[in-house]
Structure 1
Amino acid sequence: MSAAKTDVTMSDGDFSKLRAIVHKNTGITIGETRKSMLVSRLRSRLREVEEPDFAAYITRLSKDPDEMQELTNRVTTNETYFYRTPRVWDYFQDEFLPQFLDQGQNRALRVWSGAASTGEEAHTIGVLLEDIRLGHQKFDYSVLGTDVSSRVLKVATDGQYKGRSIARFREAKPNLFDKHMAGNDTDGFKANPQIRSRIKFKLHNLFDRLSGAGPFDVVFLRNVLIYFTDEDQEKILRQVHSQMRPDGVLFIGESETLTKLNSPFEPIAPIIYRPKAKANG
């Protein structure tokens, strides 16, 4: 079979169809001005699967679930690193965790990293919680990381990091890093086994209810809401709210706000929220 053309173009009609397909399967809204981005991310895929044009690729998507997952992997943006946005972690360490410990909760702390990407956030959570566990005999925890991209979840599950991914954490918290991360600069670093055993990763669409998980004490939903319309953000937030404890905490991204949304959360501080009380009846 001949290879697909390298200069294939995308018609406005095919762009509209692909935007609709992406939204239906991920909830992500690709802006009307982002056609060149979509072409650049998918053109190589057409060559790989030997489809001659985007119309043929769209037909393939309708009957190939594996290719639909590959489309999701290609169009999602995944950039993250350990200890991103220090004030989030300062609040988590200095405010939330002491309150949780003071309440003497007789259960494991449950945390959800709702746009886990390659797993740096979930492993940062694990390191901070493991440090607490070592100093508090009755404290335990579990961390669930979810994402719509199977590609990034493979990286997260492997959990090996180096370079820019770990640089900020290594510099800001050298004692914690040396205590809980093992490895070297050439091969990369992994969290210690006690941490990895408490972190699980799962493929999940934020529009869907998480089965067999929750309720969560803490949800990190950072730098993902910006890819959704206001209406879809509200749907996601209602779903998240339904799976949180009443005294839980939600963290969102530094470029995000819930101020203009009809949201079941109220602010504690910028980018930090708590669930509003659920209405009776």
Structure 2
Amino acid sequence: MSATPQSATPQVSIAEAVSALDALRAARPLVQNITNYVAMTISANVLLAVGASPAMVHSEAEVDEFVAISNALVINIGTLSPDWLTGMRKAAARAVALGKPWVLDPVGCGATKFRTDFAVELSRAGPAIIRGNASEIMSLAGAAGAGGKGVDSTASSDAALAAGKALAKASGAVVAITGETDYVTDGTHVVAITGGSALMPLSTALGCALSATVAAFAAVRPPFEAAVAALAVYGAAGAAAAARVTGPGHLPAELCDALYGADAALVERYATIKTVEEVNV
């Protein structure tokens, strides 16, 4: 199973997001995660809850074989170490060679030269989707020569939109920028998605789990539509989960429960999807 080719005009709506969720649950795609130690458990649980099958496989010795049996791949550089670089490179190259979608999460890009240089290298290795917060996207775009470099970790997703569009054009990937409002762009089209909760950044690795969810949707939809659907469903589930808690401690469990039970009513209630016709960037 692989994602169908990207359409010229992305088809995005709440109904399309729910349809993508139904397709994901029917297909139960196997998603290979090369991710950080902090995120492994919550990413696996989120994938199971949404209807995918997770595999946490990063060893250089087996990535070639495992990419071949997977339906999508996510590479997350959160707890980056030199030993993992070769496995990440091999997995990305194998996914591209086999036509399998892979998602780059450039965690902490801009924090160190080592991390930033490797994020730039991976951004040029054929990811279908790059998913990051505003500061990560701004830093990656700047370091890759695609746009202004961001250094403020509190940068808004609105402030990162110009960099996101430039990064999409330079890399050929769909770029998903997450924040109070999420944006998805291919450098030409821009879609804004709302949902989620202010509690979500206070719970470790929920952003990493979102990138894994994006990869799961990329197994059943083209990259642009996959990113929009994943952000809408995840954001709706996050908002529903936050309504059930008094703080961030129990949020991951409630998020998994909300994803497991997500349906059209939940997504319609807690998320919005809007095509941005013109953006001043």
Same fold (TM over 0.5): no
TM-score, normalization by structure 2: 0.30
After TM superposition, the score normalised by the length of structure 1 is 0.30
User: Rg bigger for which structure?
Assistant: 1
Higher relative contact order (CA 8 A, sep 6+): 2
